[in-house]
Structure 1
Amino acid sequence: MDMQGSRQLAVTQQQAWDALNDPVVLKACIPGCDKVEPTGDNQYAIAMALKIGPVSAKFTGKISLTEMNPPASYKLSFDGQGGVAGFGKGSAEVTLTPNDEGCDLSYTVHASVGGKIAQLGQRLIDGAAKSMAEDFFKRFDAEMQRLYPESYAAKMVMGDVEGDAPAAASSSGAKPAIPVWVWAVGAVVLAAAVWLGS
């Protein structure tokens, strides 16, 4: 499965990078996410519940980050297992590009799945992945609006951003510990069978 996407954010590149590296924000924004924990240098463990069609299961995965270029980009590799439901693995590239409106978040995912999930058919899997990505972005936008209301207020006055009510949990001011990839893994890899992948 290959998947590409992008989203315009009203916040700065650095603000987006910081939020996407905050485990509290990520756990709140990734659909079905139960755990995001560091396990080593640029390595993380993630656990989440996933339902695609008639198949639902708990998935656990490992993510490794390479080619880190804060606050602009990174590359990640993921490998996740969902027991009898199947597995997912692949890689992703995530980029934050500053612009006049704030920054653009874009990703490219290459993933493969096996087991029961793979038997559901590519159309159903792709649909679930896209739905999870959209859900993540909606939650992330709401959290950015909560954290940086002045940025969104300026954009709303200019009619560039819709005013969604904040829904994600707060970031408690903890030092960022998880890279931007986490949202991508949750949306893509899980939809593909585990965590995001780009």
Structure 2
Amino acid sequence: MKMADSQRIVAPRETVWAALNDPEVLRLSIPGCEALEKTSDTEMEATVRLKVGPVKASFAGKVTLEDLNPPESYRIVGEGSGGVAGFARGGAFVRLEEEGPDITLLHYEVDAQVGGKIAQLGSRLIDSTAKRLAGEFFKTFSETVSAEGETEGEELAAKTGRGWLSGMFGRKEDATDKADA
């Protein structure tokens, strides 16, 4: 199965890069992910429970990050086993492109293989399930990353007593302004 697409994320590229390397953000974004643990700077172990058509399975697997080029791109390679349900292995090339100061285009190309009972379901069902799961991942990932940016802005507004945009770019009051008031 091959799949390629792009997603527009409302966040700076560095924020998106950090989120792509944050196990907690990924755990929350991956549909059916029950556990995701970082075992080294470039490796993670995951447990994911999925339903593909009539087949329900819990997959345990390893994910490795390769060809790291922060904050622009990396290759993610993974392999998982779902017992009698089968196995999945594959990889994705992920590239981040700045579209503006607070907009990032995330491009991805996925190549995956499945075997066992899951493979017997047919490529049409597997492809539609993969597209649905990718859609769910990116919707949740985008919301999580965008919410982090909003939270940072809210924290800045609370500290300055002003909105996040004026807090970042607005004129700062100093002691003489307060004395004049």
Same fold flag (TM > 0.5): yes
Counterpart of 1:107 in structure 2 is 108
Counterpart of 1:181 in structure 2 is none
Query: Deviation at 1:26?
Result: 1.2
Counterpart of 2:134 in structure 1 is 133
Counterpart of 1:120 in structure 2 is 121
Query: Deviation at 1:5?
Result: 1.2
Please give the residue correspondences for 1:144-155 in structure 2 after superposition, counting only pairs within 5 Å.
Answer: 144-149=145-150
Query: Deviation at 1:19?
Result: 1.5
Give the Cα–Cα distance (whole angstroms) in 2 for the partners of residues 27 and 107 of structure 1.
19
Query: Deviation at 1:124?
Result: 0.3
Query: Deviation at 1:39?
Result: 2.3
- What RMSD, in angstroms, separates the aligned Cα atoms of the two structures? 1.7
Large movers: runs of 4+ above 4 Å: none
Give the Cα–Cα distance (whole angstroms) in 2 for the partners of residues 23 and 40 of structure 1.
11
Counterpart of 1:69 in structure 2 is 69
- Answer whether contact 1:11 1:151 (CA < 8 A) is retained: no
- Answer whether contact 2:9 2:146 (CA < 8 A) is retained: no
State the TM-score, normalized to the length of structure 2.
0.79
Q: Kindly, what percent of the aligned residue pairs are identical?
A: 45
Counterpart of 2:18 in structure 1 is 18
Give the Cα–Cα distance (whole angstroms) in 2 for the partners of residues 136 and 79 of structure 1.
18
- Answer whether contact 2:17 2:70 (CA < 8 A) is retained: yes
- Answer whether contact 2:97 2:105 (CA < 8 A) is retained: yes
Counterpart of 1:189 in structure 2 is none
Query: Deviation at 1:18?
Result: 1.0
Higher relative contact order (CA 8 A, sep 6+): 1
State the TM-score, normalized to the length of structure 1.
0.72
Give the Cα–Cα distance (whole angstroms) in 2 for the partners of residues 140 and 77 of structure 1.
19
Give the Cα–Cα distance (whole angstroms) in 2 for the partners of residues 11 and 90 of structure 1.
28
Query: Deviation at 1:53?
Result: 0.4
- Structure 2 residue runs without a partner (length 5+): 154-181
Counterpart of 1:55 in structure 2 is 55
Counterpart of 2:2 in structure 1 is 2
- Answer whether contact 1:10 1:151 (CA < 8 A) is retained: no
